[in-house]
Homo-oligomer: A and B are copies of this chain.
Amino acid sequence: MNPAADHSPTLATKSDIASFLLREFPQTKCTVVDVGHRSATVRHAIGSAELRPGGTVSGPVLVAVADVALYVAILGEIGLVPLAVTTSLSINFLRKPAADAAIVGTCRLMKVGKSLIVGEVDLYSEGLEEPVAHAVGTYSVPPRPASDAA
């Protein structure tokens, strides 16, 4: 079996990842919607704690969703590795999020290297078509026994 093949199963199931996420990020309000090949979707309910006056979802909440979406996609790709850490994250805020909709983040990994993984995340107000923000992040991961990585 080649875990790097394009239609390979993820190395951890969605429910494995959801449990692991709760242990590693106990404060997160994100839930795992989907984990696929080099991809993941997560969702974060929005309530008054996440809003600024005027009904804007605060930037750090969007960053947190992007970070979790990347982490979930990485766990699906390389297994339940507790030592993956974010090394950089950049985000562009594109539109005002809806005050009454959850934030959904969809991640696509662009590079799965031996020690660095890079991915991008589109962030949406649930139900709307245009993204509210776009993030690119890099994780550093511990060396793995075997990989297609470069």
**Residues in A lying within 8 Å of B, measured CB to CB:** 23-27, 49, 52-53, 56, 58-61, 63-64, 67, 85-96, 110-111, 115-116, 118, 120, 131, 134, 136, 138, 140, 150
Chain B residues positioned under 8 Å from A49 (CB to CB): 27
List 19 interface pairs A-B (beta carbons < 8 Å), by A numbering. Answer: A27-B49, A56-B85, A59-B67, A60-B61, A60-B67, A63-B89, A85-B93, A87-B92, A88-B91, A90-B91, A90-B136, A92-B110, A92-B111, A94-B111, A94-B118, A95-B111, A96-B150, A115-B115, A115-B140
Chain B residues positioned under 8 Å from A115 (CB to CB): 115, 140
Instruction: Give the number of copies in the complex.
Output: 4
Chain B residues positioned under 8 Å from A24 (CB to CB): 52-53
Q: Tell whether A92 pairs with B118 under 8 Å between CB atoms, given A25-B52, A49-B27, A134-B110.
A: yes
**Which of A52, A53, A88 gathers the greatest number of chain B CB atoms within 10 Å?**
A88
User: In whole Å, how far is A142's beta carbon from the nearest beta carbon of chain B?
Assistant: 11
**Which of A26, A92, A136 gathers the greatest number of chain B CB atoms within 10 Å?**
A92
The CA of A93 and the CA of B137, in the complex, are separated in Å by: 11
* For the complex of A and B, 8 pairs with smallest distance between CB atoms: A90-B90, A60-B64, A94-B111, A63-B63, A60-B60, A88-B92, A60-B63, A59-B86
The CA of A53 and the CA of B150, in the complex, are separated in Å by: 19
A95 touches B150 (CB 8 A): yes
User: In whole Å, how far is A49's beta carbon from the nearest beta carbon of chain B?
Assistant: 6
